[in-house]
Structure 1
Amino acid sequence: MLIHPWDAADDTGEWQTWLRTRDFGQLTANGVNGGPPVVVPTHFLFDGDEEIVLHLARPNPIWAALEANPATVVSVHDDYAYIPSTWRSDSPDDGVPTSYYAAVQLTCRARIVDDREGKADILRRQLAHHQPDGGYGEMAADAGPYRRMLSAIRGLRLEVVDVRAKFKYDDRRPVELRERIRDALTGRGLPGDEGAKAQLIRRMTR
Protein backbone atom coordinates (compact mmCIF):
# COMPACT_ATOMS: atom_id res chain seq x y z
CA MET A 1 0.00 0.00 0.00
CA LEU A 2 1.45 3.35 -1.07
CA ILE A 3 1.27 5.92 1.72
CA HIS A 4 2.19 9.51 0.90
CA PRO A 5 3.27 11.61 3.90
CA TRP A 6 0.05 13.63 3.80
CA ASP A 7 -2.06 10.45 3.92
CA ALA A 8 -0.24 8.82 6.82
CA ALA A 9 -1.78 8.41 10.26
CA ASP A 10 -0.75 11.20 12.60
CA ASP A 11 0.21 8.71 15.29
CA THR A 12 -0.57 5.26 16.65
CA GLY A 13 -3.64 6.55 18.46
CA GLU A 14 -5.32 7.65 15.23
CA TRP A 15 -5.37 4.25 13.56
CA GLN A 16 -6.04 2.41 16.83
CA THR A 17 -9.11 4.57 17.48
CA TRP A 18 -10.38 3.94 13.95
CA LEU A 19 -9.76 0.20 14.11
CA ARG A 20 -11.36 -0.16 17.54
CA THR A 21 -14.83 0.04 15.97
CA ARG A 22 -14.03 -2.32 13.09
CA ASP A 23 -13.66 -6.07 13.39
CA PHE A 24 -14.08 -7.45 9.88
CA GLY A 25 -11.36 -7.62 7.27
CA GLN A 26 -9.33 -9.86 5.01
CA LEU A 27 -6.75 -12.34 6.25
CA THR A 28 -4.11 -12.96 3.58
CA ALA A 29 -1.25 -15.40 3.25
CA ASN A 30 1.23 -16.39 0.57
CA GLY A 31 0.10 -19.16 -1.71
CA VAL A 32 1.68 -22.60 -1.48
CA ASN A 33 4.15 -23.75 -4.15
CA GLY A 34 3.90 -20.56 -6.15
CA GLY A 35 0.11 -20.39 -6.07
CA PRO A 36 -1.80 -17.13 -5.76
CA PRO A 37 -2.26 -15.51 -2.33
CA VAL A 38 -5.00 -16.93 -0.12
CA VAL A 39 -7.50 -14.24 0.96
CA VAL A 40 -10.12 -14.97 3.62
CA PRO A 41 -12.82 -12.46 4.63
CA THR A 42 -13.38 -12.86 8.37
CA HIS A 43 -14.38 -11.36 11.68
CA PHE A 44 -11.54 -10.98 14.15
CA LEU A 45 -10.76 -9.61 17.60
CA PHE A 46 -7.85 -7.18 17.96
CA ASP A 47 -6.63 -6.42 21.48
CA GLY A 48 -5.72 -2.89 20.39
CA ASP A 49 -2.00 -3.40 20.60
CA GLU A 50 -0.21 -6.70 20.01
CA GLU A 51 -2.53 -9.59 19.14
CA ILE A 52 -5.42 -10.60 16.89
CA VAL A 53 -7.42 -13.76 17.54
CA LEU A 54 -9.93 -15.52 15.30
CA HIS A 55 -11.12 -18.95 14.24
CA LEU A 56 -11.90 -20.56 10.90
CA ALA A 57 -13.31 -23.85 9.66
CA ARG A 58 -10.84 -26.71 9.50
CA PRO A 59 -11.19 -27.15 5.67
CA ASN A 60 -10.19 -23.51 5.04
CA PRO A 61 -7.36 -23.34 2.46
CA ILE A 62 -5.42 -20.79 4.48
CA TRP A 63 -4.15 -23.43 6.93
CA ALA A 64 -1.78 -24.98 4.40
CA ALA A 65 -0.52 -21.52 3.48
CA LEU A 66 0.16 -20.59 7.12
CA GLU A 67 1.81 -23.90 7.85
CA ALA A 68 4.20 -23.24 4.95
CA ASN A 69 4.78 -19.61 5.94
CA PRO A 70 3.36 -18.03 9.13
CA ALA A 71 3.66 -14.47 7.78
CA THR A 72 0.21 -12.99 7.18
CA VAL A 73 -1.55 -9.64 6.79
CA VAL A 74 -4.92 -8.57 8.18
CA SER A 75 -6.26 -5.81 5.94
CA VAL A 76 -9.18 -3.56 6.91
CA HIS A 77 -10.67 -0.71 4.89
CA ASP A 78 -13.73 1.47 5.31
CA ASP A 79 -15.10 5.01 4.95
CA TYR A 80 -14.49 4.94 1.22
CA ALA A 81 -16.05 6.99 -1.57
CA TYR A 82 -15.36 7.75 -5.21
CA ILE A 83 -14.64 11.46 -5.72
CA PRO A 84 -15.50 12.60 -9.28
CA SER A 85 -13.17 14.80 -11.29
CA THR A 86 -15.72 17.64 -11.31
CA TRP A 87 -15.60 17.87 -7.51
CA ARG A 88 -11.84 18.48 -7.50
CA SER A 89 -11.58 21.18 -10.17
CA ASP A 90 -13.33 24.27 -11.46
CA SER A 91 -12.52 23.16 -14.99
CA PRO A 92 -13.79 20.00 -16.68
CA ASP A 93 -10.49 19.80 -18.57
CA ASP A 94 -8.11 19.26 -15.67
CA GLY A 95 -10.10 17.59 -12.89
CA VAL A 96 -8.62 14.31 -11.66
CA PRO A 97 -10.90 11.85 -9.84
CA THR A 98 -9.71 9.98 -6.79
CA SER A 99 -10.78 7.56 -4.08
CA TYR A 100 -11.19 8.50 -0.44
CA TYR A 101 -10.63 5.70 2.06
CA ALA A 102 -9.15 4.66 5.36
CA ALA A 103 -7.10 1.47 5.53
CA VAL A 104 -5.05 -0.36 8.13
CA GLN A 105 -2.84 -3.33 7.30
CA LEU A 106 -1.42 -5.36 10.17
CA THR A 107 1.49 -7.65 9.35
CA CYS A 108 1.43 -10.61 11.71
CA ARG A 109 3.14 -13.83 12.67
CA ALA A 110 0.58 -16.62 12.90
CA ARG A 111 0.33 -19.37 15.48
CA ILE A 112 -2.26 -22.05 14.81
CA VAL A 113 -4.24 -23.20 17.85
CA ASP A 114 -5.50 -26.79 17.82
CA ASP A 115 -5.84 -27.68 21.49
CA ARG A 116 -9.40 -27.65 22.75
CA GLU A 117 -8.88 -25.23 25.64
CA GLY A 118 -7.00 -22.82 23.40
CA LYS A 119 -9.80 -22.84 20.85
CA ALA A 120 -12.43 -22.45 23.56
CA ASP A 121 -10.57 -19.43 24.94
CA ILE A 122 -10.53 -17.75 21.52
CA LEU A 123 -14.24 -18.42 21.06
CA ARG A 124 -15.05 -17.06 24.53
CA ARG A 125 -13.21 -13.84 23.75
CA GLN A 126 -14.83 -13.46 20.33
CA LEU A 127 -18.32 -14.16 21.63
CA ALA A 128 -17.85 -11.64 24.44
CA HIS A 129 -16.79 -9.05 21.88
CA HIS A 130 -19.28 -9.71 19.08
CA GLN A 131 -22.23 -10.53 21.37
CA PRO A 132 -21.70 -8.35 24.44
CA ASP A 133 -25.36 -8.78 25.43
CA GLY A 134 -24.98 -12.52 25.67
CA GLY A 135 -27.48 -14.87 24.10
CA TYR A 136 -25.13 -17.82 23.78
CA GLY A 137 -24.47 -20.86 25.90
CA GLU A 138 -21.48 -21.89 27.95
CA MET A 139 -18.23 -21.95 26.00
CA ALA A 140 -15.89 -24.55 27.45
CA ALA A 141 -13.57 -27.22 26.11
CA ASP A 142 -15.43 -30.04 27.87
CA ALA A 143 -18.89 -28.65 28.59
CA GLY A 144 -21.68 -26.62 27.05
CA PRO A 145 -23.41 -26.79 23.66
CA TYR A 146 -20.30 -26.00 21.60
CA ARG A 147 -17.90 -28.61 22.94
CA ARG A 148 -18.65 -31.08 20.13
CA MET A 149 -18.10 -28.43 17.48
CA LEU A 150 -14.54 -27.56 18.51
CA SER A 151 -13.08 -30.31 16.35
CA ALA A 152 -14.53 -28.58 13.25
CA ILE A 153 -12.46 -25.41 13.70
CA ARG A 154 -8.90 -24.24 14.23
CA GLY A 155 -7.91 -21.10 16.09
CA LEU A 156 -5.41 -18.41 15.19
CA ARG A 157 -3.33 -16.13 17.36
CA LEU A 158 -1.66 -13.44 15.29
CA GLU A 159 1.24 -11.49 16.76
CA VAL A 160 1.25 -8.00 15.23
CA VAL A 161 4.78 -7.13 14.07
CA ASP A 162 4.11 -4.10 11.83
CA VAL A 163 1.27 -1.71 11.04
CA ARG A 164 0.66 0.45 7.97
CA ALA A 165 -2.19 2.96 8.19
CA LYS A 166 -3.55 5.36 5.59
CA PHE A 167 -6.24 8.06 5.65
CA LYS A 168 -6.62 9.33 2.06
CA TYR A 169 -8.79 12.44 2.20
CA ASP A 170 -7.01 15.13 0.12
CA ASP A 171 -5.08 16.51 3.09
CA ARG A 172 -2.63 18.38 0.86
CA ARG A 173 -5.38 20.16 -1.09
CA PRO A 174 -6.80 23.58 -0.06
CA VAL A 175 -9.39 23.66 2.68
CA GLU A 176 -11.86 25.33 0.32
CA LEU A 177 -11.73 22.37 -2.04
CA ARG A 178 -12.22 19.90 0.78
CA GLU A 179 -15.19 21.88 2.07
CA ARG A 180 -16.74 21.71 -1.39
CA ILE A 181 -16.23 17.94 -1.47
CA ARG A 182 -17.72 17.68 2.03
CA ASP A 183 -20.88 19.40 0.80
CA ALA A 184 -21.02 17.24 -2.32
CA LEU A 185 -20.77 14.06 -0.25
CA THR A 186 -23.64 15.31 1.91
CA GLY A 187 -25.82 15.76 -1.15
CA ARG A 188 -24.95 12.54 -2.96
CA GLY A 189 -25.83 10.04 -0.26
CA LEU A 190 -24.24 6.89 -1.65
CA PRO A 191 -23.18 4.06 0.69
CA GLY A 192 -19.89 5.06 2.25
CA ASP A 193 -20.36 8.81 1.69
CA GLU A 194 -21.22 9.59 5.31
CA GLY A 195 -18.21 7.68 6.62
CA ALA A 196 -15.90 9.33 4.10
CA LYS A 197 -17.32 12.74 4.96
CA ALA A 198 -16.79 12.15 8.67
CA GLN A 199 -13.14 11.24 8.08
CA LEU A 200 -12.67 14.21 5.73
CA ILE A 201 -14.04 16.60 8.37
CA ARG A 202 -11.99 15.00 11.15
CA ARG A 203 -8.76 15.22 9.19
CA MET A 204 -9.58 18.74 8.04
CA THR A 205 -10.25 20.08 11.54
CA ARG A 206 -7.68 18.23 13.62
Structure 2
Amino acid sequence: MYLNPTHSSSDAAVAAQIVREQPLASLITTDEAGLPQVSHLPMHLNVDGQGGWTLLAHMARANPQWQQLQARPQALVTFLGPNAYMSPDVYAEQARVPTWSYVAVHCRVRARLIDAQDAAAKDALLKTLIADHDPAYAAQWRSLDAAFQQRMLAAIVAFELQVESWQCAVKLNQHRPEAHAAMHAHYAAGTEAERGLARWMERLGLASTAGQGA
Protein backbone atom coordinates (compact mmCIF):
# COMPACT_ATOMS: atom_id res chain seq x y z
CA MET A 1 0.00 0.00 0.00
CA TYR A 2 1.04 3.60 -0.36
CA LEU A 3 2.67 4.71 2.87
CA ASN A 4 3.50 8.28 3.71
CA PRO A 5 6.63 7.97 5.91
CA THR A 6 4.92 10.13 8.54
CA HIS A 7 2.20 7.50 8.96
CA SER A 8 4.28 4.34 8.60
CA SER A 9 4.96 2.21 11.67
CA SER A 10 7.64 -0.47 11.86
CA ASP A 11 6.61 -1.42 15.41
CA ALA A 12 5.62 -5.09 15.29
CA ALA A 13 3.70 -4.80 18.56
CA VAL A 14 1.55 -1.99 17.12
CA ALA A 15 0.88 -3.98 13.94
CA ALA A 16 0.04 -7.15 15.88
CA GLN A 17 -2.37 -5.24 18.12
CA ILE A 18 -4.24 -3.91 15.08
CA VAL A 19 -4.51 -7.43 13.66
CA ARG A 20 -5.77 -8.89 16.94
CA GLU A 21 -8.26 -6.10 17.57
CA GLN A 22 -9.59 -6.21 14.01
CA PRO A 23 -9.48 -9.92 13.11
CA LEU A 24 -11.91 -9.75 10.17
CA ALA A 25 -9.45 -9.64 7.29
CA SER A 26 -9.75 -9.19 3.55
CA LEU A 27 -8.01 -12.05 1.74
CA ILE A 28 -7.10 -10.99 -1.80
CA THR A 29 -6.09 -13.48 -4.48
CA THR A 30 -6.19 -13.51 -8.28
CA ASP A 31 -8.19 -15.75 -10.57
CA GLU A 32 -7.00 -17.41 -13.77
CA ALA A 33 -7.53 -14.16 -15.68
CA GLY A 34 -5.46 -12.19 -13.18
CA LEU A 35 -8.50 -10.44 -11.72
CA PRO A 36 -8.68 -9.96 -7.94
CA GLN A 37 -11.05 -11.88 -5.71
CA VAL A 38 -11.72 -10.96 -2.09
CA SER A 39 -13.13 -12.88 0.88
CA HIS A 40 -13.71 -11.41 4.33
CA LEU A 41 -12.55 -13.91 6.93
CA PRO A 42 -11.75 -13.87 10.65
CA MET A 43 -8.10 -14.75 11.23
CA HIS A 44 -5.95 -15.71 14.20
CA LEU A 45 -2.40 -14.38 14.48
CA ASN A 46 0.39 -16.60 15.81
CA VAL A 47 3.78 -15.01 16.53
CA ASP A 48 6.68 -17.44 16.97
CA GLY A 49 9.75 -17.04 19.14
CA GLN A 50 11.67 -15.35 16.32
CA GLY A 51 8.91 -12.85 15.63
CA GLY A 52 7.56 -14.64 12.57
CA TRP A 53 3.86 -14.31 11.85
CA THR A 54 1.36 -16.97 10.77
CA LEU A 55 -2.34 -16.32 10.16
CA LEU A 56 -4.88 -19.12 10.65
CA ALA A 57 -8.22 -19.11 8.84
CA HIS A 58 -10.78 -21.17 6.97
CA MET A 59 -13.45 -20.63 4.34
CA ALA A 60 -16.42 -22.50 2.95
CA ARG A 61 -15.42 -25.28 0.57
CA ALA A 62 -18.01 -23.82 -1.81
CA ASN A 63 -15.88 -20.67 -2.07
CA PRO A 64 -13.63 -21.15 -5.14
CA GLN A 65 -10.97 -18.86 -3.66
CA TRP A 66 -9.28 -21.75 -1.85
CA GLN A 67 -8.49 -23.24 -5.26
CA GLN A 68 -6.77 -19.97 -6.18
CA LEU A 69 -4.69 -20.25 -3.02
CA GLN A 70 -3.81 -23.80 -3.97
CA ALA A 71 -2.76 -22.82 -7.49
CA ARG A 72 -1.10 -19.49 -6.58
CA PRO A 73 -0.14 -19.57 -2.89
CA GLN A 74 1.01 -15.95 -2.64
CA ALA A 75 -1.73 -13.54 -1.61
CA LEU A 76 -2.46 -10.31 0.22
CA VAL A 77 -4.29 -9.99 3.53
CA THR A 78 -5.46 -6.61 4.85
CA PHE A 79 -6.74 -5.57 8.26
CA LEU A 80 -8.52 -2.23 8.62
CA GLY A 81 -8.87 -0.83 12.13
CA PRO A 82 -10.83 2.17 13.39
CA ASN A 83 -11.24 4.89 10.80
CA ALA A 84 -13.14 8.16 10.59
CA TYR A 85 -13.36 11.57 8.97
CA MET A 86 -11.37 14.43 10.46
CA SER A 87 -12.73 17.94 10.02
CA PRO A 88 -10.33 20.88 9.51
CA ASP A 89 -12.08 22.62 12.42
CA VAL A 90 -9.49 21.00 14.73
CA TYR A 91 -6.98 23.53 13.37
CA ALA A 92 -6.66 27.13 14.47
CA GLU A 93 -5.81 28.16 10.89
CA GLN A 94 -8.46 28.35 8.17
CA ALA A 95 -6.16 27.23 5.35
CA ARG A 96 -6.55 23.52 6.10
CA VAL A 97 -8.42 20.65 4.44
CA PRO A 98 -10.34 17.58 5.69
CA THR A 99 -8.75 14.14 5.83
CA TRP A 100 -9.52 10.59 6.95
CA SER A 101 -7.79 8.94 9.90
CA TYR A 102 -7.22 5.19 10.07
CA VAL A 103 -5.01 2.35 11.23
CA ALA A 104 -4.33 -0.61 8.93
CA VAL A 105 -2.01 -3.57 8.34
CA HIS A 106 -1.28 -5.27 5.02
CA CYS A 107 0.41 -8.68 4.93
CA ARG A 108 1.99 -10.46 1.97
CA VAL A 109 1.46 -14.15 2.65
CA ARG A 110 2.14 -17.63 1.34
CA ALA A 111 -0.66 -20.13 1.88
CA ARG A 112 -0.49 -23.73 3.01
CA LEU A 113 -3.78 -25.59 2.82
CA ILE A 114 -4.45 -28.13 5.56
CA ASP A 115 -5.01 -31.53 3.97
CA ALA A 116 -8.65 -32.53 3.79
CA GLN A 117 -7.78 -35.87 5.40
CA ASP A 118 -6.16 -34.19 8.41
CA ALA A 119 -9.35 -33.71 10.41
CA ALA A 120 -7.41 -33.31 13.67
CA ALA A 121 -5.38 -30.37 12.36
CA LYS A 122 -8.48 -28.74 10.92
CA ASP A 123 -10.35 -29.25 14.17
CA ALA A 124 -7.44 -27.72 16.14
CA LEU A 125 -7.44 -24.64 13.88
CA LEU A 126 -11.20 -24.30 14.30
CA LYS A 127 -10.88 -24.49 18.09
CA THR A 128 -8.21 -21.75 18.00
CA LEU A 129 -10.66 -19.42 16.26
CA ILE A 130 -13.45 -20.43 18.65
CA ALA A 131 -11.18 -19.58 21.60
CA ASP A 132 -10.67 -16.09 20.18
CA HIS A 133 -14.33 -15.21 19.87
CA ASP A 134 -16.56 -17.63 21.79
CA PRO A 135 -14.60 -19.85 24.22
CA ALA A 136 -17.77 -21.18 25.81
CA TYR A 137 -18.83 -22.69 22.49
CA ALA A 138 -15.88 -25.14 22.56
CA ALA A 139 -17.71 -27.40 25.03
CA GLN A 140 -20.85 -27.33 22.88
CA TRP A 141 -18.85 -28.23 19.78
CA ARG A 142 -17.22 -31.17 21.56
CA SER A 143 -20.66 -32.41 22.66
CA LEU A 144 -22.08 -32.54 19.15
CA ASP A 145 -22.55 -35.81 17.30
CA ALA A 146 -19.31 -36.97 15.66
CA ALA A 147 -20.99 -37.41 12.28
CA PHE A 148 -22.26 -33.82 12.42
CA GLN A 149 -18.78 -32.57 13.30
CA GLN A 150 -17.31 -34.47 10.37
CA ARG A 151 -19.87 -32.97 7.98
CA MET A 152 -19.12 -29.47 9.22
CA LEU A 153 -15.37 -29.99 8.95
CA ALA A 154 -15.76 -31.39 5.45
CA ALA A 155 -17.64 -28.23 4.43
CA ILE A 156 -14.66 -25.95 5.10
CA VAL A 157 -11.12 -25.55 3.83
CA ALA A 158 -8.61 -24.55 6.50
CA PHE A 159 -5.26 -22.95 5.81
CA GLU A 160 -2.20 -21.31 7.31
CA LEU A 161 -0.85 -18.08 5.83
CA GLN A 162 2.84 -17.54 6.43
CA VAL A 163 3.43 -13.78 6.54
CA GLU A 164 6.43 -12.94 4.37
CA SER A 165 6.26 -9.19 4.96
CA TRP A 166 3.89 -6.62 6.42
CA GLN A 167 3.19 -2.90 6.33
CA CYS A 168 1.49 -0.87 9.04
CA ALA A 169 -0.20 2.50 8.54
CA VAL A 170 -1.18 4.63 11.53
CA LYS A 171 -2.59 7.83 10.04
CA LEU A 172 -3.35 10.05 13.02
CA ASN A 173 -2.12 13.48 11.93
CA GLN A 174 1.27 12.93 13.56
CA HIS A 175 2.74 15.85 11.60
CA ARG A 176 0.24 18.36 13.07
CA PRO A 177 0.88 18.20 16.83
CA GLU A 178 -0.80 21.58 17.36
CA ALA A 179 -4.14 19.89 16.51
CA HIS A 180 -3.74 16.71 18.56
CA ALA A 181 -5.63 17.87 21.64
CA ALA A 182 -8.64 19.12 19.66
CA MET A 183 -8.59 16.06 17.42
CA HIS A 184 -8.49 13.69 20.39
CA ALA A 185 -11.32 15.53 22.15
CA HIS A 186 -13.46 15.34 19.01
CA TYR A 187 -12.83 11.62 18.51
CA ALA A 188 -13.23 10.76 22.21
CA ALA A 189 -16.77 12.19 22.17
CA GLY A 190 -17.76 10.59 18.86
CA THR A 191 -18.84 7.31 17.32
CA GLU A 192 -17.43 3.92 18.24
CA ALA A 193 -14.91 4.16 15.40
CA GLU A 194 -13.90 7.66 16.45
CA ARG A 195 -13.46 6.54 20.05
CA GLY A 196 -11.24 3.74 18.75
CA LEU A 197 -9.04 6.33 17.05
CA ALA A 198 -8.93 8.35 20.29
CA ARG A 199 -7.61 5.26 22.08
CA TRP A 200 -4.92 4.83 19.43
CA MET A 201 -3.89 8.45 19.91
CA GLU A 202 -3.56 7.74 23.63
CA ARG A 203 -1.48 4.61 23.05
CA LEU A 204 0.90 6.47 20.78
CA GLY A 205 1.24 9.52 23.00
CA LEU A 206 -0.62 11.90 20.67
CA ALA A 207 -3.46 12.85 22.98
CA SER A 208 -2.18 14.54 26.12
CA THR A 209 -1.61 18.13 25.08
CA ALA A 210 -1.48 20.27 21.98
CA GLY A 211 2.08 20.44 20.74
CA GLN A 212 3.05 16.93 21.81
CA GLY A 213 4.78 15.05 18.96
CA ALA A 214 4.46 11.48 17.75
Equivalent residues of 2:22, 2:80 under 8 A apart: no
Alpha-carbon distance between aligned partners in 2 of 1:139 and 1:111, rounded to the nearest angstrom: 29
Alpha-carbon distance between aligned partners in 1 of 2:179 and 2:79, rounded to the nearest angstrom: 28
TM-score for both structures, normalised by structure 1? 0.86
Matches within 5 A, 1:31-180: 31-34=31-34, 36-48=35-47, 49-88=52-91, 90-91=93-94, 94-113=95-114, 114-115=116-117, 116-134=119-137, 135-138=139-142, 143=146, 145-173=148-176, 175-180=177-182
Alpha-carbon distance between aligned partners in 2 of 1:65 and 1:139, rounded to the nearest angstrom: 34
Identity of matched residues, %: 25
Give the aligned residue type for 1:201: E
Structure 2 match to 1:12 = 12
SS in 2 for 1:81: strand
1:127 deviation in Å?
A: 1.8
TM-score for both structures, normalised by structure 2? 0.83
Alpha-carbon distance between aligned partners in 1 of 2:142 and 2:147, rounded to the nearest angstrom: 5
Alpha-carbon distance between aligned partners in 2 of 1:180 and 1:172, rounded to the nearest angstrom: 14
Deviates more, 1:54-63 or 1:161-170: 54-63
Q: Give the total of aligned pairs.
A: 200
In structure 2, which of residues 179, 184, 187 is the aligned counterpart of residue 185 of structure 1? 187
Provide closer, same or farther for how the CA distance between residues 144 and 51 of structure 1 changes in structure 2, counting only shifts above 3 A. Answer: farther
Give the aligned residue type for 1:105: H
Structure 1 residues not aligned, in runs of 5+: none
1:108 deviation in Å?
A: 0.7
Give the aligned residue type for 2:43: F
Structure 2 residues not aligned, in runs of 5+: 208-213
1:166 deviation in Å?
A: 0.8
Structure 1 segments (4+ residues) deviating >4 Å: none
